């Protein structure tokens, strides 16, 4: 099935886009976390969101979640690992799943994790973002797993079930992963090493671990890994007033398009992106706008 729209990200921007697409009866898929946005839930008190004075981020998330439920909005709980332009549509890889959509709304928030030196150049040459897609390639081998959140631990455990040896780099508190072949590394990784393929991980203290592959399990992907041809400006997705990017049919909304990082901007841009997508699809099909 080819969806008309794929909305990526379940924060305020993605929710606003999905809500408007649902109200306008569009055929779309909404991909992200069913917990919506960890970041959006962190605000202790929000004073600048119109109509909801003194609400907390957690309460706002709960209100979004309740409204999504009432509206029958379904979330496909996955991380999108890569988006590939394919003529008049886009192919999205998410875990071991594959989706196709005519248009894409990127609502992925800011990328908090810096890409490690060497990482981008070695994607597909030993660097992977997807345990279920690429884990099988490392059966019986030595890998490093750099994991930024406890909720990805089950993916690391899956990898430990395949690899002979796992150097585990948890970048969060109280990691619980263990196993005979798992070595938890307390030092941070400072670079991924290799020429044609990954050969090792450099540690902040200067040491090196020899590995065959590196899995980076994170909340969000660097844009250069997710959709390399997307136009950026100062580390954000460059958009016009209609939230269109440089790629036909690809729109962006929320923190990923730049400052100010605010809920109201995110929901406003999500709304605009949804309407722009609808206009784009209608034009492509010579239809009148709803
Ligand atoms: C402590 C704190 C306090 C704040 N206080 C305020 C305030 O008082 N007022 C205010 O206006 N703003 C405040 N903010 C900012 C506000 O939270 C953000 O502006 C808002 O959450 C942006 O929404 P977004 O949808 O653009 O991105 P996000 O909320 O970051 O959501 C993006 C979502 O996309 C997901 N995602 C990313 N990549 C992928 C992928 N490849 N596949 C699938 N899903 C993906 C992420 O996991 C996340 O769930 C605060 C933020 C923080 C951290």
H or E element that contains 260: none
Span 190-202, average pLDDT: 96
Q: What is the DSSP string of 100-128?
A: EEEEEEE------SPPPTTTGGGBTTTEE
What is the 286 CA–ligand 1 centroid distance (Å)?
36
What is the 34 CA–ligand 1 centroid distance (Å)?
14
Question: Atom 4, ligand 1: which residue's CA is nearest?
Answer: 43
Question: Atom 31, ligand 1: which residue's CA is nearest?
Answer: 11
Span 220-227, average pLDDT: 82
pLDDT at 220: 75
Question: Atom 8, ligand 1: which residue's CA is nearest?
Answer: 46
What gap in Å lies between CA 37 and CA 272, rounded to an integer?
20
Q: Which of 243, 244, 245, 265 is nearest to 254 (CA)?
A: 265
Query: For residue 46, which atom of ligand 1 is closest to its CA?
Result: 8
- In the chain, CATH 3.50.50.60 sits at 2-112+221-284, 120-217
Q: Report the percent of the chain where pLDDT is more than 70.
A: 97
Span 40-45, average pLDDT: 88
Q: Which of 186, 60, 59, 201 is nearest to 118 (CA)?
A: 201
Q: Does residue 260 surpass a pLDDT of 80?
A: yes
Q: Report the percent of the chain where pLDDT is more than 90.
A: 76
User: What pLDDT band is residue 290 in, cutting at 50, 70 and 90?
Assistant: low
Residues with CB under 6 A from ligand 1: 8-14, 31-33, 37, 39-40, 42-43, 46, 48, 79-80, 107-109, 219-221, 226, 254-255, 261-264, 266
Span 115-135, average pLDDT: 85
What is the 54 CA–ligand 1 centroid distance (Å)?
18
- pTM for the whole structure: 0.83
Question: Atom 11, ligand 1: which residue's CA is nearest?
Answer: 262
- Classified by CATH at the fold level, domain 120-217 comes out as FAD/NAD(P)-binding domain (3.50.50)
What gap in Å lies between CA 249 and CA 2, rounded to an integer?
14
CB 234 within 8 A of CB 228: no
User: What pLDDT band is residue 63 in, cutting at 50, 70 and 90?
Assistant: very high
H or E element that contains 231: none
Choose the weakest-confidence range: 180-189, 213-222, 259-268.
Answer: 213-222
pLDDT at 185: 96
CATH node for 2-112+221-284: 3.50.50.60
CA atoms within 13 A on the CB side of 3: 24
Handedness of CA 215, 218, 220, 224 (dihedral sign): negative
Using only the alpha carbons of the chain, give its radius of gyration.
20
Q: What is the pLDDT of residues 92-114, one digit of tens each?
A: 998 778 999 999 999 999 875 66
Q: Name every residue whose Cβ is closer than 8 Å to that of residue 13 and which is 6 or more positions away in sequence.
A: 107, 109, 253, 254, 255, 256, 266, 267, 269, 270, 273
Choose the weakest-confidence range: 74-88, 146-160, 183-197, 275-289.
Answer: 275-289
């Amino acid at each position: 099935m080819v969806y008309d729209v794929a909305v990526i990200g379940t924060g305020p921007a993605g929710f606003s886009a999905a809500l408007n697409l649902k109200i306008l009866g569009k055929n779309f898929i909404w991909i992200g976390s069913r917990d919506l946005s960890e970041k959006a839930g962190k605000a202790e008190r929000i004073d600048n969101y119109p109509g909801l004075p003194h609400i907390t981020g957690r309460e706002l998330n709960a209100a979004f979640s309740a409204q999504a439920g009432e509206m029958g909005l379904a979330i496909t709980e996955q991380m999108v690992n890569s988006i590939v332009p394919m003529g008049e549509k886009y192919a999205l890889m998410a875990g071991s799943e594959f989706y196709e959509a005519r248009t894409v709304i990127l609502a992925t928030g800011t990328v908090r994790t810096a890409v490690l030196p060497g990482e981008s150049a070695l994607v597909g040459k030993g660097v992977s973002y997807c345990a279920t897609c690429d884990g099988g390639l490392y059966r019986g081998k030595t890998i490093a797993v750099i994991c930024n959140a406890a909720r990805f631990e089950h993916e690391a455990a899956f990898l430990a079930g395949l690899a002979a040896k796992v150097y585990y780099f948890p970048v969060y508190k109280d990691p619980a992963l263990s196993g005979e072949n798992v070595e938890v590394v307390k030092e941070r990784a400072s670079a991924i090493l290799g020429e044609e393929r990954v050969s090792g991980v450099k540690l902040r203290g200067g040491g090196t671990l020899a590995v065959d592959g590196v899995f980076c399990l994170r909340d969000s992907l660097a844009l250069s890994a997710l959709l390399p041809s997307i136009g950026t400006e100062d580390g954000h997705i460059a958009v016009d007033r209609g939230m269109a990017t440089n790629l036909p049919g690809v729109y962006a909304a929320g923190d990923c398009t730049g400052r100010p990082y605010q809920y109201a901007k995110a929901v406003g841009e999500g709304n605009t992106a949804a309407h722009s997508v609808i206009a784009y699809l209608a034009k492509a099909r010579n239809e009148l706008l709803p």
